[in-house]
Structure 1
């Protein structure tokens, strides 16, 4: 198969033309046979003792004029228009931060950034820009700098498959491309001397250090890098966000660029942004696949000794491990990350959770080999998780991927489009292992895959769709050691073995698209996430044993390209081009993370969801507020403190709890839950982006039947959360006749019992609560001073009639329209003599936590002399009339507040929807 390219893609041509227009006015070069050594600055090439080099004749003022014109034509935001040509700078001294005069090196060459979403042909655009820059201006020397071997191999592959395409467009213009190889330094001499287009692809790490071969003086008396420097190359930087350290910026400057062109979907710093095709625009134009998320998550999964080693922290004299475990919090058992050192006991770190009681003392932490050993002899590696429902979730993710694959195969049957699925894994041993004799054996992922594939292959709906055997349709792309055994790739550095792996997967790009080739499911180490993609990847599954912290945009980028058929032609049908991401998190969590990344990476703001940090002001007390007669009068009425006591019957509590437990929903075994959502960019009436939403397409649950739990001391657990006696708890649980359900899911059973007992206990306590004033104890007036803070303007109402209140602004909840209306009415109505929003520290104690009422007021009816003193709680008008619409905790606290204010003389407590509801 030969991949086909469309030379008339409008958005790509726009990106290319934007770069060309940056140099408008650059004099065209004379014929290659007409030049003068004395007149080297007249055109776009110059001749030196080393050979042929590029030349830029425009002034900086001309370059800035061109840049601003291009930026405005491309409708960039005002803050993206460059006030000057931004230069690259770096510090030789690592201790220096920022640009300091005399300590920072500021380079002279211009830098330009092009932002293009993954999958929209970024590499094609900059390769074609090379030919176009040569055609229009005559530039000839180009260096493509890449941050990794994976990306380098992707660029080489692109150069190979586009070469004939570009030769056809540019009338067989002589061009040569090479990969820098420290063993073939003569290539650099040819790069400098040749008068044809020269493209050199080089990894940034090949020339960052003085010790690199390219920076060493050779027997010729010069450093090999000088051949590049004297050519004044146009330097194209692929994924420049990976080259922002001082040492890498210095290395780029050391190439002596004519200028740099920086291409990425996720720039860290935008040096003179020229053109922008962000992910939202790419989706809207149908240039990439639509995304749908098939979420696979565990529910009710908090029983069992879960342990996940997430990382290590090295210090001079110690090493600690970051470990996720279940922690026994006041609100119930929750999964949390803790720090552990040698000698620590997970039982104590989990706040005495029974499942970690025996054998979980940390005996050894080995950061080099990335594992922890416990006193039981158990070893857990980084990236590995044990306990909980980890394996069940991962197994379901494999099955979900295979199911989605077969659905896509059936959908595309007869269209000549091969379907590929890719699994990214953290540990090769989960896919391929070795027995004592060194023979390969299947890891759990391979076993699960073949079981799932065979199951779906034999389903009536898919029978005959794929005739290949399970063992033939999947394979792994992993590095190998000297003995030929698969091994993990380190994210931070790559070896020769890694290079070979990258070469293999890149070379197989077209073969993978051939329907006759059985291979359809690719297992790859996580290091290949960046730099490798294939247009026909329709399913991506990241099999992390812990929740993936890889960026969502990076993860989905491997499959965003529009698919191609067996002739190599792109298919533009949006219904077909749909990428399914199988994620081990809920869609809401996935979409929020993706939305946040888009905002951070691209500056695409989601209207109404981000506050303006500058739109703040201070809320201040008015002058002589402590002398305000109306305030002092009101304060004297409401300032008394109270204490409460409760009177309840244990028998009544037991009866109420038993009845509530009997009505409790059944305690089911843990389930693996799947939900499929299609990502939608939600816009307002004006077309502005609001958020990344989702449209649910389906869901299903699978009961986990093969999980057996150790039953902890559940009476002790419930007692620690409720403060009831063991005898009372025992009576409640036994009389409910629900105890047998603890074997389905111990943690869910215990937490459900705790929740019900606490609720019934709160209810019965509040029914019998009594408040009394505490002699001599009152709230202090300085509470009001603590309310003097800065607030967002949208949360404030400016006070016009200062005599009626204490502050210059009334602070409200920005989402509360009842509060806003109430404050505005208080200021405008004549019958309200004085009002104040009570400080958050003015609280009434209750058995279920402190309660802070909203307002204190003085009201006077028309024609009457009597003043009425109110404490008001504002709620939605419907909820003010029908308290069943309120949350239980709100309702119970209000009931306590009513009892508190009953003993405060001459003060009326009211729950209101508006000022009009303030009645005696």
Structure 2
């Protein structure tokens, strides 16, 4: 909530808090009910019945303050019926109850940026961004031609060395309740002291109740033929394969992961892309948007295609807003060379043999200020390729192939693609 909104709600709270805060019998005695037949004063007997009505239905707490149950039922029109002799005066009695102060009735004064859709702004229609979008807006298909025998050999070696399946087991925890445990201790799980733990492995055969399509599932997860998966599993050591019976699901998951790692290291050098006539619809920039909380998003952006941006990491925040602690504190928002930029939506993806890849940023620079006017960037915390996981590195390498293919079909102002870890590293590439 912004400072102005907080101050306004505080002012309202201060002005209302001078009202009575307890719904006890004493409060109701003598209050005047406005009815069609005229004014009626609440007697001590009526006050006692009103008080009992509130207590019976949990509309007041132990301090006789109005509860959420009353507030919610009042708003929903589901309040419990009053006793028979009070029913003719139900509405004026509720008006008297409503006059009791509770901060639960304060109006919700939210920051205008909270819980809002983040619409595209005029930067999206800028000539520079539309030209960049037309250059990268191509769907594609890929082809990979590599030696299956080589993949099988590498996968077998990888599985023999690193496939370790966790056995199904139970963790047994024994403990005793602490002396004189308080309510808060019980509520927070601190009311018991652990005295002993024991791990007991599950000994029964999992095959007795569940059937697994081992070849089919691994084939699905690796996008390999069943025959290729079968060739890999037939060649691994028996002691490695026997782990399947201990935990089939973990065996399948880890086997697919390790095969995909080997596959990722092989595909790039044998990968080619063919561009399709089909393109992405610009609706991907707004499709599937849900209300987002922009309370901490700062001021509206000047060069982004949306007014606000919720970044995924500290690296991304520094790329956009700069790093005051850096020797080169600039960012996309403040850089004179940047005309317009966009955090690309998840709907824009490049197909790769190891899963779809979604680049991070599309940036249009001022023409003449840099050597690469149109740029697509991937932000990573480290520039060392060896520190990227094999799957991540494979996707990045595939993306390079994709943008190389794009550049072959663009006569001028080609789109450059690279991985950056800061605004400084980005500018070192484009200058």
What TM-score range do you get, normalising by the shorter chain? Answer: 0.5 to 0.7
Name the residue aligned to 1:704: 202
In our comparison, the structure showing a higher alpha carbon Rg is 1
Separation of aligned partners in 2, 1:843 and 1:736: 35
SS at match of 1:616: coil
Separation of aligned partners in 2, 1:87 and 1:821: 44
Separation of aligned partners in 2, 1:910 and 1:856: 11
Residues 633-652 of structure 1 show CA distances to partners (whole Å, capped at 9, x for unaligned) of: 32343334433211211111
Residues 486-516 of structure 1 show CA distances to partners (whole Å, capped at 9, x for unaligned) of: xxxxxxxxxxxxxxxxxxxxxxxxxxxxxxx
Separation of aligned partners in 1, 2:373 and 2:259: 41
Number of residue-to-residue matches in the alignment: 345
1:641/1:779 contact within 8 Å kept: yes
* 1:207-286 alignment runs, 5 A limit: none
2:135 pairs with 1:637: yes
1:910 is aligned, of 412, 418, 423, to 418
2:122 pairs with 1:618: no
Name the residue aligned to 1:793: 294
- CA displacement at 1:892 relative to structure 2: 2.9
2:228 pairs with 1:728: yes
Residues 138-159 of structure 1 show CA distances to partners (whole Å, capped at 9, x for unaligned) of: xxxxxxxxxxxxxxxxxxxxxx
Name the residue aligned to 1:882: 384
* 1:398-413 alignment runs, 5 A limit: none
Separation of aligned partners in 1, 2:123 and 2:333: 20
1:838/1:855 contact within 8 Å kept: yes
* 1:812-827 alignment runs, 5 A limit: 812-813=310-311, 816-824=313-321, 825-827=331-333
2:132/2:364 contact within 8 Å kept: yes
- CA displacement at 1:653 relative to structure 2: 0.8
2:375 is aligned, of 852, 870, 893, to 870
Separation of aligned partners in 2, 1:666 and 1:800: 49
- CA displacement at 1:871 relative to structure 2: 0.6
- CA displacement at 1:654 relative to structure 2: 0.8
2:316 pairs with 1:810: no
Greater helix fraction, Structure 1 or Structure 2: 2
1:648/1:765 contact within 8 Å kept: yes
* 1:10-89 alignment runs, 5 A limit: 22-24=24-26, 55-56=45-46
- CA displacement at 1:852 relative to structure 2: 1.7
Separation of aligned partners in 2, 1:631 and 1:887: 32
- CA displacement at 1:835 relative to structure 2: 1.5
Q: In 2 relative to 1, CA 622–43 (structure 1 residues): closer, same or farther, beyond 3 Å?
A: closer
Separation of aligned partners in 2, 1:829 and 1:702: 60
Q: In 2 relative to 1, CA 761–674 (structure 1 residues): closer, same or farther, beyond 3 Å?
A: farther
Name the residue aligned to 2:352: 846
1:675/1:696 contact within 8 Å kept: no
2:337/2:370 contact within 8 Å kept: no
- CA displacement at 1:851 relative to structure 2: 1.7
Name the residue aligned to 1:835: 341
Separation of aligned partners in 2, 1:842 and 1:677: 53
2:124/2:130 contact within 8 Å kept: no
SS at match of 1:833: strand
2:401 pairs with 1:899: yes
Name the residue aligned to 2:255: 753
1:620/1:788 contact within 8 Å kept: no
Q: In 2 relative to 1, CA 673–904 (structure 1 residues): closer, same or farther, beyond 3 Å?
A: same
Q: In 2 relative to 1, CA 795–843 (structure 1 residues): closer, same or farther, beyond 3 Å?
A: farther
2:241 pairs with 1:739: yes
Separation of aligned partners in 2, 1:795 and 1:871: 27
- CA displacement at 1:797 relative to structure 2: 5.1
Residues 98-150 of structure 1 show CA distances to partners (whole Å, capped at 9, x for unaligned) of: 64xxxx997445xxxxxxxxxxxxxxxxxxxxxxxxxxxxxxxxxxxxxxxxx
Unaligned 5+ residue runs, structure 1?
1-19, 28-40, 45-54, 65-69, 90-96, 110-228, 233-252, 254-258, 260-270, 275-602, 604-610, 680-690
Greater strand fraction, Structure 1 or Structure 2: 1
* 1:628-707 alignment runs, 5 A limit: 628-667=126-165, 669-674=167-172, 699-707=197-205
Q: In 2 relative to 1, CA 669–792 (structure 1 residues): closer, same or farther, beyond 3 Å?
A: closer
Residues 286-331 of structure 1 show CA distances to partners (whole Å, capped at 9, x for unaligned) of: xxxxxxxxxxxxxxxxxxxxxxxxxxxxxxxxxxxxxxxxxxxxxx
Q: In 2 relative to 1, CA 917–677 (structure 1 residues): closer, same or farther, beyond 3 Å?
A: farther
Name the residue aligned to 1:570: none
- CA displacement at 1:881 relative to structure 2: 1.8
2:275 pairs with 1:773: yes
- CA displacement at 1:655 relative to structure 2: 1.0
TM-score, normalised relative to structure 1? 0.32
Separation of aligned partners in 2, 1:59 and 1:744: 67
SS at match of 1:820: helix
1:855/1:873 contact within 8 Å kept: yes
SS at match of 1:733: helix
1:620/1:789 contact within 8 Å kept: no
Separation of aligned partners in 1, 2:264 and 2:388: 16
- CA displacement at 1:830 relative to structure 2: 1.4
Name the residue aligned to 1:471: none
Which structure is higher in RCO with an 8 Å CA cutoff and minimum separation 6?
Answer: 2
2:301/2:308 contact within 8 Å kept: no
2:360 pairs with 1:858: no
TM-score, normalised relative to structure 2? 0.61
Separation of aligned partners in 2, 1:828 and 1:732: 54
2:144/2:267 contact within 8 Å kept: yes
- Give RMSD over aligned pairs: 5.1
Separation of aligned partners in 2, 1:707 and 1:806: 57
SS at match of 1:827: coil
Q: In 2 relative to 1, CA 692–904 (structure 1 residues): closer, same or farther, beyond 3 Å?
A: farther
Residues 610-637 of structure 1 show CA distances to partners (whole Å, capped at 9, x for unaligned) of: x9998223323335953x2322332343
- CA displacement at 1:58 relative to structure 2: 7.0
